[in-house]
Amino acid sequence: MEIFLYGVRGSIPSPLSSQEYKEKVISILRLAAKSEGKALSSPEEWFDALPEPLNYVVGGNTTCVRVRAASGAELIVDLGTGARILGEDLVRENFGKGEGQASVFFTHTHWDHIHGIPFFKPLYIPGNKFVFHSPLADLPERLKYQQEPRFFPIHFDHFGSERSFHQLKQGEGLEIGGVKVEWLPLKHPGGSIAYKFTEGKKSFIFATDAEYNGEDFPLIQEQKPFFQGADLLVLDAQYTLDESFQKFDWGHTSYTMAVNCASSWEVKTLALTHHEPAYSDEILAIILDDAKTHAENLGAKDLSIVLAREGMKFELV
């Protein structure tokens, strides 16, 4: 099973600003000047060895994840603005010939998780087939509303692809292309869903737009059977601890609590996601370091922590 991250920002797209770009370039040039010519003689190797976050951008697109099964089955979670880039990749494959099939799972329908739909090219190509999964009985109505003429020139019903809807029922499990799919409701205004994908003995859980705070330790234990021992958990970590106190009931988790959850659930790798749009790459790098330090203080020495970034790929074999 392969997992690709196409959008990792929360709330609203946040492109890299000119000032942030300038600061990155100047920092890189200063290091190049001290490289004794290595920056010019072996530029790619030298660049890859740059300190984080100079050798990457976290990305400004909102939530979109691709899961590709060993069987070749395509599963997608959310269609935020990262869906535009995913669509570009897919049309270079079978989807460009109208021969693609995918199952799309929606965590919820807040704008940052659906507003890439009108720009997702495979939906426009006749022959492609999509099944949209969600516990929401009115999911078709919600998605169509976003593309009414008042908000977008092309209506949802005018896509060329074939689209169908499947309402998930409590306790229902699915198997798609050899991947078992389970789901769990999360605490978030308006509701949100965590999805667990299991192939063989490997499991990936995507749990964005979830709020865990100091009052939720009983809930964390209650949900442990679902999260227990996941090989990869991509979890909401939008806030600092101080911010989470100021934004109580806003539906998001501090990176400190995200580490607490991952440690309690004994997951192997935690990827912090749904990044605050106001945070620069440099601030997020500091948050990652703090999260790792917090894990060490908890004694969670076996927990690997990474920062979710656009373009990241994980392989669970």
Residues 123 and 183 both lie in one domain: yes
Q: Who has greater pLDDT, 222 or 247?
A: 222
pLDDT at 133: 98
Residue 139 shares a structural domain with residue 194: yes
Provide the whole-model pTM.
0.96
* 129 and 44 in a common domain: no
Q: Is position 19 within any domain?
A: no
29 and 103 together in one domain: no
Same domain flag for 64 and 176: yes
| pLDDT computed for residue 137 by the predictor | 97
Residues 32 and 168 in one domain: no
Q: What is the pLDDT of residues 65-121, one digit of tens each?
A: 999 999 999 999 999 999 999 999 999 999 999 999 999 999 999 999 999 999 999
Question: What Å distances lie between residue 23 and 34, 53, 68, 281, 282, CA to CA?
Answer: 17, 11, 36, 11, 10
Instruction: Say yes or no to pLDDT of 249 above 90.
Output: no
The pLDDT, as a whole number, for residue 285 is 96
32 and 133 together in one domain = no
Q: Say whether pLDDT at 214 is over 90.
A: no
Judge residue 163's burial from the number of C-beta atoms within 10 Å of its C-beta, 0-12 exposed, 13-18 middle, 19 or more buried.
middle
184 in the same domain as 35? no
Residue 35 in any domain: the answer is yes
Tell whether 35 and 143 lie within a shared domain.
Answer: no
**Residue at 265 is within a domain:** yes
Give yes or no for residue 171 having a pLDDT over 90. Answer: no
Question: 175 in a domain, yes or no?
Answer: yes
Residue 74 resides in a domain: yes
Give me the percent of the chain exceeding a pLDDT of 70: 100
> Does some domain include residue 106?
yes
Q: Are residues 164 and 307 in the same domain?
A: yes
Q: Give pLDDT, residue 45.
A: 95
Contacts of 74 (CB under 8 A, 6+ apart): 66, 67, 68, 90, 100, 101, 102, 103
Give the CATH number for residue 108: 3.60.15.10
For residues 28 and 76, membership in a common domain is answered with no
Q: Are residues 268 and 296 in the same domain?
A: yes
Residue 317 belongs to some domain of the structure: no
Q: Is residue 303 part of a domain?
A: yes
Q: Which residues contact 175 (CB under 8 A, 6 or more apart)?
A: 181
Instruction: For residue range 257-284, list pLDDT tens digits in order.
Output: 999 999 999 999 999 999 999 999 999 9
Which structural domain range is residue 40 located in? 24-49
The mean pLDDT of the chain is 96
Higher pLDDT, 245 or 4: 4
Query: Contact, 193 vs 107, CB < 8 A?
Result: yes
Question: What confidence tens digit (pLDDT) does each residue in 224-247 have?
Answer: 999 999 999 999 999 998 888 888
Quote the number of domains for the chain: 2
Cis bond before residue 140 (omega within 30° of 0):
no
* CA dihedral (99, 100, 101, 106) positive or negative: negative
Residue 247: the pLDDT is 86
pLDDT in tens, 109-154: 999 999 999 999 999 999 999 999 999 999 999 999 999 999 999 9
